[in-house]
Structure 1
Amino acid sequence: MAAKQPVTILVPFCYRAIDYSTTENLLRTCEGIPVGKVIFSYLEGAESLLDYFYRLKDFVIDNDVDVVLALSDIATLVQSALVREFPSRLKGPSVESSFLAYHKVYTSQYLDPDTDPSSHGVLDLDSKTLLEDADVLLKRLKLPAFAKVPCGDASQGVWKISSAGQLTDVLGAVGQLNERHYSQNEHISSATFMRDFLQKVLDVDHYPMVLRDTIIVEPYIDAPAKVCVDGCVYNKEILHWAISDSLHWPGQDIPFQGSYMPSTLSDTIQRRLWGGFDKVVGRMVDHGFNNQFVHVEYFILADGQIKLIEVNARMSGNLSGLYAACLSGPPPLQALLGLCCGVRPALPAPTGRAALNLPLQVHDNYTGKVRDMVNLSEVEILKGDSDVKITWIMAFDDEFLPGKVEFAKIWTYGKTPDDAKKKCREVTRRLVKKQEQLKFNFH
């Protein structure tokens, strides 16, 4: 049932560079759910994840919080831990189900119905025989291969490996990331920032890899297409939301980035995707997943079969602008608020409009400030274009760092996907000074 009294909403793990006024407005205009306070919470200084969790736990009590709204992977982990602390007050998934989506080693073992253990390997960076282990693994898997940190997203922490020397370089780079703070490293569960929290909330004896510095190595898949499949779980019922296609960048080591809607896949493949989605999310529900969105990514192979890439226990922020244009009904953010208040969401229908999303990322070796990449005068002009939306991930004075390469997200709209692509090409040319430094760019 919808809330009768105004609810207090806590949104953890916000970013200071992002303006959340639109988010707050969407929450306050959610039909049937009166909203009192909306509190956006930020990580402070050198705070560890466990310190942050304890601070949020006190905050829930002191402010009579009714809803913890998780919009990122790590926020869902914290939400899950808070739900366990306050089961009569908060709705959301279990810690274990959120973790299984967060950590790719265990995603493969527990959630993928088609996993083949022999098709991939895990290297322990703390092993005294690491290089020998890597050599044995590459002989078994063959090259090229993917190397992935176990908790990455948005194609960060993913490398194409074409030689043993490249893998050695990647292993060294991942090891150097380990001791960095969350602001520079949010993708290694064994890092100091996360370790104490996971030891508190998770059975780490059952999931020993969580406290090890690991990297996953698996065969490189030269797939012609990649898609995102989104849905949610309401009181253990799996609901379908939408399928979006990924932009393909041939020639890149990681050739998919950005998305567009509506999907151009055949009905047969879309039915196959929903069947795969139901199997994966069904396994999550078996582990306690509930009242939250799920974002699942698949490769579409040349023969039309599907291959699970990753699972995210939250809605996709990258796709929110696409949904707003391409789907009728309440946006996912309002649907998520409803899930947290015990309201079954109304399922969306196509509007007939097309939309595209492209994260703006610089090459890994680029150094400098964000303002050096951006035509600031165009920022203001583009705000008046109804077919364009830009969200800034970094402040203009922020410095690019290893692993910190995404500075903005662009959404463009049109009657067809081709119209949206044409508009995106125009916007990036106007907005970005150094076109050659963009990792993904329409030429």
Structure 2
Amino acid sequence: MSRLPRVAIVGRPNVGKSTLLNRLVNSRVSIVEPTAGVTRDRVSLPVRIPTDFGERTVEIMDTGGIGIVDRQDLGPLVEEQVETAVGNADLIVFMVDVRDGITPLDKEVAERLRRVECPVVLVCNKAEGDRMAWEVDQFRALGLSAEPIPISAQNGEGLEDFFSAISDRLPVPREDEMAAVSVMKLAIVGRRNAGKSTLTNALAREERMIVSEVAGTTRDAVDVLFERDGRSFTVIDTAGVRKKSSFEDAIDFFSDSRAYRAVRRADVVVLLFDAMEPLSGLEKRLARYAMDHYKPVVLGANKWDTVGDQMTAQELSDYIEAELPGLRFAPLVCLSGKDQWRVDELLETAEQLYQQAHTRVGTGELNRVVQRAVAGRGPSSSGHRVRIHYATQAERLPPTIVVFVNDKRLIGKDYIRYLTNRFREETPFKEVPIRVVLRDSEDTGEDED
């Protein structure tokens, strides 16, 4: 099975590992905050970098700081994630902070890396300007064979030499290497302790996320690239959403906002909840947010193994439909991430939604649906004559259907919802949100549901 070459970024806390990852992907993927230990899990993303063989895609893994002192006593679990990243890496980027000089923790990390077999690139971060560049030579004392490379992850300085060092030390690319590029982003969102990280590990079939009984263990929206049956996926594990009144610090604020950003980034969203807990306003807010952004949603009833004979799947489905009427078309999967029961079914369901959202329906077929819809219930507007001329699909993901009418002001939202439901019933878009846009035949303005 082909996979991307893996590059792990390691170092003590607060040297700029997450800033470098954000710079490489040109997006704020990892939380960057002065508090030490914000990153706990492995954040992995495919990144295109220039090499001697041309542009090449590699998997970059951001890790938690080695030697972290964690207020929730999760330090050993963070260290375990770092060790796993180092053990699975094809190349290690050891990052230090030029401004702080060599610290005891830097020496400890260097001692560990001298025992690993894969190549190491020594990166000296925060080397802005000529004066800081002169301070780089001191890091030769760490005893690594790697030549220290000055960079500024914040400003993007020195990345050309950084890319060159990576290119020199990575294995020669295989012909089938690009087959490992992710085809679908799957965001897992929900309340704290719903089992999101456990489900992520079950999907990846390895311990990629720290799982703890401590609420709020996951702080960031963590991208995990994994392969299944010859296909590659990215699952985005998110921090549990919570009421804003319960935020303790800036990290809680960023964690919450990243969960909603993950919904926007995703192709498909898994709204995960504990099957034994009633749905709260938090799940309803997430559901509304996903619908507002026209994201396909899989409803995941986790911990189904604890339900027993207290409830049937149909009873749960009826309850969810009453609580989340806007998602009555979304499929429900009852599962157990801990026991890895029906996890594959959840992934297959997400793939089906992804394919539905990418489907294109011909104009002729859409117009036949419109004709049957109008015959069943014509639009009316206080004696005004309303005419629907034709419909056509303008976009995919989300499926966007433009309906041309004589005067869009005469058609209310109730009739738009009626048309949307008819499109869902008679096209392949049976389980995904549909965006219906009204447009006057003689102008370019638009109105939508």
Identify the structure with bigger relative contact order (alpha carbons < 8 Å, sequence gap 6+): 1
Tell me the TM-score normalized by structure 2. Answer: 0.26
Tell me the TM-score normalized by structure 1. Answer: 0.26
Larger radius of gyration: 2
